[in-house]
Structure 1
Amino acid sequence: MVMQQRTTRLTGYAHGGGCACKIPPGELEDAVRGLVGQAAPGVLVGLDDGDDAAAVLVRDDLAVLATADFFTPVVDDPYDWGRIAAANALSDIYAMGGRPIVAVNLVGWPREVLPMELLTEVLRGGLDVATQAGCPVIGGHTVDDPEPKYGMAVTGVAGPDELLRNDAAQPGLPLTLTKPIGTGILNNRHKRTGEVFEQAVAVMTELNADAADAAKAAGARAATDVTGFGLLGHLFKLCRASGVGATIDAGAVPVLDGVRESLEDGYVSGGTRRNLSWVRPHLEPDAGITKEDLLLLADAQTSGGLLVVGEVPGYPVIGKTTAGSGIRIR
């Protein structure tokens, strides 16, 4: 559904929107290449495989999870931006099989350009979603920044044997996706035209708590959330960490209403194109798969769903893991 936009356009103060403003995956991996492999006592999950959060064993039956996520405005409504950013940050904990227990705000704000009342609305949105998650927001950190940014650092807990990891996938298992894709394309259209897509806001503000619980109940051991590197980028990282391949049924991937039409009209972010460029050497598309199909599968999501290795009741199966390497798309 398309609605009329409010007067103040927060997206006009940002060079990119949401998770599409992330540093491209290839450049990021080059930057941290020499920092992996840290051997620290108690570290269960670190930087090595690009998991969604770090995990440290503090007791035989308890792991503490830590993550941080923030980004530039993805929508113009400040309250909705706060809700989306909070859901996105909390998602990293759910994607690891954990439960968030406390969060702090991370804010960059052009205080001489945008009124503080707008910041209050951003923080209110974040607080409301965190409250829905049962996660108190206690303080945070702010800086005067020419470009507005908002997100959270979140701490969570999980049982060590309940962790969902990038390196735990086995071949021959279904791949389940718990939210439709296409938010990057609709957000790009929103930034350029001011049109508001309620279906995209609804998906981005939905917590992944129920999906994570369902995945664990189904016996899943490997999962990730689908955010700025797109479905293909996050799937590739998971497959690489686990030493498996995958087959994706492009027609089975759920897509938000209005996305295909917006893709045809050219609303594709630079982040999406960089995602596809990075993962393209590892793809084996069938003859009927078009470049537009690949761009959609590489679309830079904000606060997307969980990609779970295993069948999760109530959510669509979009493919399976395979022996070997590479991602076939049919």
Structure 2
Amino acid sequence: VDDPYTFGQIAAANALSDVYAMGGKPLTAMNMVCFPVKSMDITVLKAILRGGVDKILEAGALLVGGHSIEDDELKYGLSVTGTVHPKRLVTNSGAKAGDKLILTKPLGTGIISTAVKAEMADAETTARVADSMATLNKKAAELMQEIGIHAATDVTGFGLIGHTVQMAENSRVGVTIFSASVPVFPEAAGFAEQGLCPAGLHRNREFYSPSVIIDDKVPSYTQDIFFDPQTSGGLLISLAPSKASRLKDKLRQAGITEAAIIGEVTRQPRGKVTVR
């Protein structure tokens, strides 16, 4: 993302997502900044911080300070503190056999970001992906708490596969993903076929492949998208099958139009993810 304001929004949304994934409400945030003072204009930093503050306020939280250092490479993020009632705390270890899985945002942000860097993504695609990454998981978190769920996590750097494997391992269950049901940015497939895959995708595949069983009929570009590291991705939610359609409908009515039921939790094989 070239626009510093948008960069700040996305970084803030990504940091806030950890609290939302646990069913919490963000209360305070602190800026964490590394900035190349000698090689980059200070107006860039001001725009980044403005984008971050706007997202913090949208989340209903407060910026209470921060820390900055001079560095050769620009870095920005937040340290976020939130609150949740102990009995309503959501983790990635409570998925139960028979549950359905819902994903709230489309995949492919890492691949498309790589295409943007290569100047191969058009303005419309770039804007749509940036808007998705800058969107808070606030409403999705509120709705999942309203409906009642068993487990959740946000899909970020380890990709859909990595975060699903973690949920399966921590919950001592298996997971089946139905590849045709997973929401993706349509442009991601073409870019993946051209080899525009970030390094993190290959690291995710190398690390998590032993825990994944992928049907031979699943296209290689789809596999790439599932291993693709996401920035400020959606929530992956595990809940009782009787509640799944109701939550999906509520999410879509709330403007989370890409929300979809993408899989189910099984008893076996424990700690493994099957992709069909």
Note whether the superposition's TM-score is higher than 0.5. yes
Match of 2:265 in 1: 321
Q: State the 1:82 CA deviation.
A: 0.1
Structure 1 CA distance, aligned partners of 2:72 and 2:112? 25
Q: CA RMSD in A?
A: 1.1
Structure 2 CA distance, aligned partners of 1:230 and 1:252? 16
Q: State the 1:290 CA deviation.
A: 3.0
Task: Give secondary structure in 2 for the equivalent of 1:155.
Answer: strand
Match of 2:232 in 1: 303
Does the 8 A contact of 1:276 with 1:294 survive in 2?
Answer: no
- Cα 1:194–1:265 change in 2 (3 A) is closer
Answer yes or no: is 1:285 the counterpart of 2:214.
Answer: yes
Answer yes or no: is 1:82 the counterpart of 2:13.
Answer: no
Q: State the 1:152 CA deviation.
A: 0.1
Q: State the 1:287 CA deviation.
A: 2.2
When you count helix as a share of all residues, which structure comes out higher?
2
Q: State the 1:127 CA deviation.
A: 0.5
Number of residue-to-residue matches in the alignment: 256
Q: 1:216-269 CA distances to partner (integer Å, 9 max, x unpaired)? A: 122113100000100000010111011011000001000113111211222100
Identity of aligned residues (%): 41
Higher relative contact order (CA 8 A, sep 6+): 2
Q: Which amino acid aligns with 1:318?
A: I
Structure 1 CA distance, aligned partners of 2:196 and 2:115? 6
Answer yes or no: is 1:119 the counterpart of 2:45.
Answer: yes
After the TM superposition, which residues 6-85 of structure 1 pair with which residues of structure 2 at under 5 Å, given as runs?
75-85=1-11
Unaligned runs of 5+ in 2: 250-258
Match of 1:142 in 2: 68
Match for residue 236 of structure 1 among 136, 149, 165: 165
Structure 1 CA distance, aligned partners of 2:64 and 2:41? 23
Match of 1:226 in 2: 155
Answer yes or no: is 1:207 the counterpart of 2:136.
Answer: yes
Match of 2:254 in 1: none
Q: 1:72-124 CA distances to partner (integer Å, 9 max, x unpaired)? A: xxx11110000000000000000000000110100000110111110000000
Match for residue 158 of structure 1 among 77, 84, 87: 84
Match of 1:267 in 2: 196
Q: State the 1:194 CA deviation.
A: 7.0
State TM-score, norm by structure 2: 0.90
Structure 1 CA distance, aligned partners of 2:120 and 2:74? 18
State TM-score, norm by structure 1: 0.76
